[in-house]
Structure 1
Amino acid sequence: MNQASNQLELLNAASSYYSMVARLALVEADIPFYNHMLDIHFAKQQLSDRYRELNPQMTVPTLRAENLLLTSSKDILQWAACQAGASWMDSDISLTLLINELVSNHYLISIEDLTFGKWLSSNKLLAFVFPRMLASTVTRLENQLESVDSLSPVDIIALKNKAQLNRSRLAYFTEGSQKQKLEDMRLKWSNYLHTIPLIESNQFIFGDRFSSIDVVLAVLFARLTMINETSLIDRPDLQNWWGRVQLRGSLRVADLWMRMQRRRLLLTAWKARNTVIN
């Protein structure tokens, strides 16, 4: 797809959970977009000066067009729901508050803590490498802060916040009982899934149309599948819903990862680092 100046551009990463939320939201809302992949693992393009100008949080995804700039998957999801109109259940004002609450509560729980907690507990090499990658990121951010004379106050705050976030993540994955933390994360996600209303047969969560919470749960279940944590999906209605949703072509178009694809991870990272963030 060739990028036009007035075309929606989604800056994201192939394996990123929140990028998948944005991609699926746009696909399900039938919104065309240019898929601009970034390398967030090796080249760490999200930490570049140009990307920070667009998204001070230095996270993916970011959605932009001539008169639009959204810097979180939650905002992109909400915008897509508005664009989808009556084709999504979000348009039913009697459901708006409940859908928004379920989506917001999803964002209160860290999927990355569950993901990496699971991987670090079962992969000694990753358990050795990952903390060092986080420490390297902190060092890189601190080095960027040393050029304080050329940074704006907004840049300084953004870099300090990002460095502190990575310090916190480093502490989380290196201090205390990792086994207990993993169990705590499992419990949080299990409790969350039990707040989802009972789903009727052959329906989506709130009826015969998709909604924001269907988007979020589809990505969540894809991640639980990828990290072998589908035992958390212990309700038959949720299992049946997931079986139906997997038949939708949108999951393929949006490139939801249900298994770790190491070769694709390296390939997309290699291609991404050769693209320019304008």
Structure 2
Amino acid sequence: MTEFAKLSGARPRLYQTPSSYYSMIARLALAEGGIAYERLFVDIHFRLGQQQPDYVRLNPGMTVPTLVLADRVLTESRDIAEYALGAATDPETRAWLDLHYAYPIEELTFGGILARNPLARILIPKRLESIRRQLLAQAARNPDLASVYQARAAVFAERVEAFEPDAVVALSQQRRTEAIGFMDRLEQTLRDGRPVLVPPAYGVADVVWTVFLGRMEFAGLGAEIPKRPALARYWTALQARPSFAAADIWTKFHIGRLIGGILGIGRG
């Protein structure tokens, strides 16, 4: 049996990666909800643990996070956040969630790396193509999961095209412009002095936009936040919440923590 098949326990299990944007959303929501859980590391970069057949049976999308509950498995960070904090039933919260999840955050992160680094423009597309081939090889080795692996391989074929070196600079600039537009929209909403996006209390909309603002710092757009006073006030308050530290929200890259997770030491 693999590591995914052996694990068991009464508490929910969260398969995640420390640096993963959507894993951070899950961790923050669970921390805010006061839900105890077992945090388990998935090496999505080197060992490609998300491609292991037992993990694929948990999460056919081969993504992180995955939350395993006693009665079901949640494979989307939005579903995990709503499980932890309650379903978004009001139109304003749903609108903030829809806006957030329609934005391809990975195109900002990787697009920026590719736009700035000529070596990355060579290496990352090659790595994406290598993963695509590995997925097809997994399809051949696991006939019962062949269609799932083939569908995921098609996603990576699309990523190879999206991150094509000649187009990536324009793509990166487009995503940066959109991200700054989101910060403007947050500023406009918060100008009335509200402490949270949808009063009266911190909720699922605040969770996803907390992580978004952390990614703005991570992606080199953090200087845009102080230009917007209401947003700066909000961001300061978000970082002061105990859940922010408990969820390990990355505002910069931590190579030591990532390696520690891969080696099975420290926080996973």
- Normalised by the size of structure 2, how large is the TM-score? 0.89
Match of 2:171 among 181, 184, 194: 181
For the residue of structure 2 that corresponds to 1:246, the secondary structure is helix
Matched, 1:31 2:39: no
- Structure 2 unmatched runs, 5+: 1-6
Match of 1:168 among 158, 164, 168: 158
Runs of 4+ in 1 over 4 A off after TM superposition: none
Paired position in structure 2 for 1:219:
211
Judge which range, 191-200 or 259-268, deviates more.
Answer: 191-200
Residues 135 and 153, structure 2, Cα contact 8 Å, conserved in 1: yes
C-alpha distance in structure 2 between counterparts of 1:125 and 1:39, whole Å: 23
Paired position in structure 1 for 2:4:
none
Paired position in structure 2 for 1:237:
230
Deviations, residues 81-135 of structure 1 (Å, cap 9, x unaligned): 228xxxxxx5xx6xx1110121122111111000011112223343332222111
Residues 189 and 232, structure 1, Cα contact 8 Å, conserved in 2: no
CA positional deviation for 1:34: 0.6
C-alpha distance in structure 1 between counterparts of 2:41 and 2:171, whole Å: 32
Match of 2:264 among 255, 271, 278: 271
Matched, 1:248 2:265: no
Residues 120 and 126, structure 1, Cα contact 8 Å, conserved in 2: yes
For the residue of structure 2 that corresponds to 1:66, the secondary structure is coil
For the residue of structure 2 that corresponds to 1:191, the secondary structure is helix
CA positional deviation for 1:202: 6.3
Give the root-mean-square deviation of aligned CA atoms: 2.1
Deviations, residues 170-204 of structure 1 (Å, cap 9, x unaligned): 11112543221111112222333444462243612
CA positional deviation for 1:231: 4.5
CA positional deviation for 1:256: 0.5
Deviations, residues 239-278 of structure 1 (Å, cap 9, x unaligned): 2100111111211110101111112212212228xx9xxx
- Structure 1 unmatched runs, 5+: 84-89
Q: Which amino acid aligns with 1:190?
A: I
For the residue of structure 2 that corresponds to 1:146, the secondary structure is helix
Match of 2:137 among 137, 143, 159: 143
- Normalised by the size of structure 1, how large is the TM-score? 0.86
Paired position in structure 2 for 1:87:
none
Q: Which amino acid aligns with 2:134?
A: R
Paired position in structure 1 for 2:3:
none
Residues 197 and 206, structure 2, Cα contact 8 Å, conserved in 1: yes
For the residue of structure 1 that corresponds to 2:86, the secondary structure is helix
